[in-house]
Structure 1
Amino acid sequence: MRSTMSKHTQQAMSGLGAVLGTMTGSGVKLDDFKHEIQDYMVAELPGMLEMPERTYVGSTYPLGQGGNGGNATKSDFVFDKVEVEETVLHLNKGLKAGDRVLALRVNSGNDVVIVCKVVSGNG
């Protein structure tokens, strides 16, 4: 009985959980499923964006001269620490064909949600 229950549990759980995949031109191809999935969802991450204080060095030009004049002045641009409320990270706008992604199967394996892009830790 235990063996039978274990087999049924394994069958029920296969097709669920996290899996790696690759974005294609028209969908996502999961590593453990031979067909491309065109109807998928992408996580959207709402929240508050906190940006630390930072300084950038750049050039300024007299008004109207843009980058064409030779009168550039080096300047420090200092940005204070800021919190931006009601921000949303739209992951789907940053994905392109060939990107490796982490996907979750939900709704008994009937739907796929792309959670994030995955990159190598060696480079």
Structure 2
Amino acid sequence: MSKDPYGAFVSIMQSSMAGHTRQALSGVGAVLGTITSTGLKLDDFKHELQDYLVAELPGLLSVPRHMYIGTTTSVEEESWEGKELKTSFYIGEDKLEDVNLGLKEGLKPGDRVLAVQVNGGNDVVVVCKVVNGRG
């Protein structure tokens, strides 16, 4: 009995496409890593990366009305010199334009991060810091 030539062709094509898909997607996707004093160490790559990107989030910051409690010191009146007064500061609702949340400035060695590999795995972008959900 001879094999079905079309079935054999389909099988070869499926195998070939699966191989190409695996190759195209290897090194691509999200991965956890750790910030080091000299770069970024990804969990799934044995070498440290010194050349990586960090996401920034530009946008509009909406701040609700809130209150700060603090102290003030008056030095304009001699009788108040060195004395403190407990004070509440009320800040009204506001929208701040052109705000930029710079993740890079907040990262320290030892911080765990989520990184995304792009451009076929040639570039790595740190998207955010990750923390333990139990604490």
Q: What is the TM-score of this pair, normalised by structure 1?
A: 0.91
Q: CA deviation at 1:6?
A: 1.3
Between the aligned partners of 2:64 and 2:75, the Cα distance in structure 1 is 30
2:125 aligns with 113
Between the aligned partners of 2:99 and 2:123, the Cα distance in structure 1 is 26
1:67-86 CA deviation, whole Å, 9 max, x = no partner?
Answer: x82x2111111000110000
Between the aligned partners of 1:26 and 1:82, the Cα distance in structure 2 is 39
Q: Are 1:24 and 2:24 matched, yes or no?
A: no
1:7-55 CA deviation, whole Å, 9 max, x = no partner?
Answer: 2211221100110000011110000000000000111111011111101
Following superposition, which runs of at least 4 residues in structure 1 exceed 3 angstroms of deviation? none
Unaligned stretches of 5+ residues in structure 1 = none
In structure 2, give the amino acid aligned to 1:100: R
Between the aligned partners of 1:3 and 1:108, the Cα distance in structure 2 is 21
Q: Between the two proteins, what is the percent identity of the paired residues?
A: 56
Q: How many residues align?
A: 120
Q: What is the TM-score of this pair, normalised by structure 2?
A: 0.83
Could you say what the CA RMSD is over the residues aligned between the two structures, in angstroms?
Answer: 1.6
Between the aligned partners of 1:39 and 1:59, the Cα distance in structure 2 is 46
Q: Are 1:9 and 2:9 matched, yes or no?
A: no
Higher helix share: 2
2:3 aligns with none
